[in-house]
Amino acid sequence: MTTTTTPSPILPGATIGFLGGGQLGRMTAFAARSMGYDIHVLDPEAACATRPIASRTITAPFNDVNAAIELASQCDVVTLEIEQIHPSVLDAVAARTALRPGRDPVYIIQDRIRQKQWLKSHGFPLGRFVAAQQASDIADMVRECGASIAKSTHGGYDGRGQVRLSDPEQAMDAWTALGSRECLVEQKVSIHYELSVLVARSPSGATAVYPPSRNHHTSGVLTWAVVPAVISDEMAQRAQTLARTVAERIGIVGLLAVECFVTTDGELLVNELAPRPHNTYHHSERGVATSQFEQLVRAICDLPLGATDVFAPSAIANLLGDVWLQDSAPDVTHALNVTGSRLHLYGKAGARAGRKMGHLSAVGDSAQDALGRVLESYRRLSPGTISSFDVHEPVLAHITS
């Protein structure tokens, strides 16, 4: 952890505004409330997840400048829990109160092509990609590089807005599926495992870097994450140094999650950036000295950043709406009989397939133990969805490089 200037903190009793009222806002708002801050939120959904914790909720779309001005006028600092905020809204907020993260990092990150080009221009390691202006660009990429993934430039989280291609003949269908507009096309890389690193950075220049999280996805959606990552010390150091450098160069104030691939050849590649709390660090509430949610409050308020030491191996497993769409209701009692497990629900009213409704967490004596506990809790909660929930591979014990 490094500090470059004297902090000028926004102290408890002040009001924090949130652009976005989903589960990330909800969990950060809980942390802020426990520290003595008031909460206001702007979100398109009147019944957003953060509403029960906020003293004021403005229901408006993320491109409503007047609503953003209304939010900013009553807040000492404004942050975000989703990056897809219209630039005019970011400008309107920044003109009236502290906006953290700032407009420029969010503008870079919220467009996938802009983000990749920025990373490339600063020399960060990436897989091969191209900005496709037409279907033939997609076909050329697949013809030259083989299996590829076409992605929408905005949104498209959790595997949505993506098309996998193995043949140039699929290009036109992919182009149409993504709205017949500019898209990002990435060469598919041979992935050994996935990890992420979370970096906190305050306005005064202090930084705190979390240990890497080892992550596993099914159909593009995070299924589980665990810390410690069970990787070599050398790879952990490389990943943390990479993430810290990205955060410093992009000028983030708040949190930056750097998602990475480690290839079968041992390369460390940046996949995507997120300027907010991240699904892969929900376990920080259980096993890290400072949760990512408290850390965001500390960072945007220019308070001393908290320690990021892992004091207990911890893991999470996502709960999608599919769990509630089975013939039998989730068995919460049976699931919570697993020692060390907890249930975290996001207060969302309607379950639908693929929608993140909550997560399970667990602590254990080792990373493998914590992961085993949380997956056992999941099995007990919803045995009907286990066939689509890849819980057996890869085994953590063999990943040491």
Task: Mention the CATH class of domain 15-109.
Answer: alpha beta
3-state SS assignment for residue 182: coil
Contacting residues for 237 by C-beta, under 8 A, at least 6 apart: none
Residue 233's Cβ-count burial label (10 Å; 0-12, 13-18, 19+) is exposed
Residue 169 CA to its chain's centroid (Å): 33
**Structure confidence by residue, pLDDT tens digits, 15-51:** 999 999 999 999 999 999 999 999 999 999 999 999 9
Q: Is the pTM of this model over 0.95?
A: no
Confirm or deny that 157 is annotated as ligand binding: yes
Domain locations in the chain?
15-109, 128-187, 191-398
**Structure confidence by residue, pLDDT tens digits, 299-324:** 999 999 999 999 999 999 999 999 99
- Residue 394: CB atoms within 10 A of its CB come to 12
Confirm or deny that 66 is annotated as ligand binding: no
Which CATH code fits 191-398? 3.30.470.20
At 385, the pLDDT band (50, 70, 90 cuts) reads confident
User: Which residue type does 11 have?
Assistant: L
Confirm or deny that 189 is annotated as ligand binding: yes
d(CA 110, CA 83): 6
Confirm or deny that 116 is annotated as ligand binding: no
Confirm or deny that 369 is annotated as ligand binding: no
Confirm or deny that 162 is annotated as ligand binding: yes
Confirm or deny that 156 is annotated as ligand binding: yes
3-state SS assignment for residue 293: helix
**Structure confidence by residue, pLDDT tens digits, 198-211:** 999 999 999 999 99
DSSP H helical ranges for 168-291: 171-177, 233-250, 284-287
At 371, the pLDDT band (50, 70, 90 cuts) reads very high
DSSP H helical ranges for 188-232: none
- Domain range 128-187, its CATH number among 3.30.1340.10, 3.30.1490.20, 3.40.50.920, 3.30.420.40: 3.30.1490.20
Confirm or deny that 161 is annotated as ligand binding: yes
Contacting residues for 140 by C-beta, under 8 A, at least 6 apart: 130, 168
Confirm or deny that 159 is annotated as ligand binding: yes
Confirm or deny that 220 is annotated as ligand binding: no
Confirm or deny that 74 is annotated as ligand binding: no
Cβ burial 85-111 (10 Å sphere, 16+ → b, else e): bbeebbebbbebbbbbbbeebbbbbbb
Confirm or deny that 193 is annotated as ligand binding: no
Confirm or deny that 271 is annotated as ligand binding: yes
Do you find a cis peptide bond into 52, omega within 30 degrees of 0? Answer: no
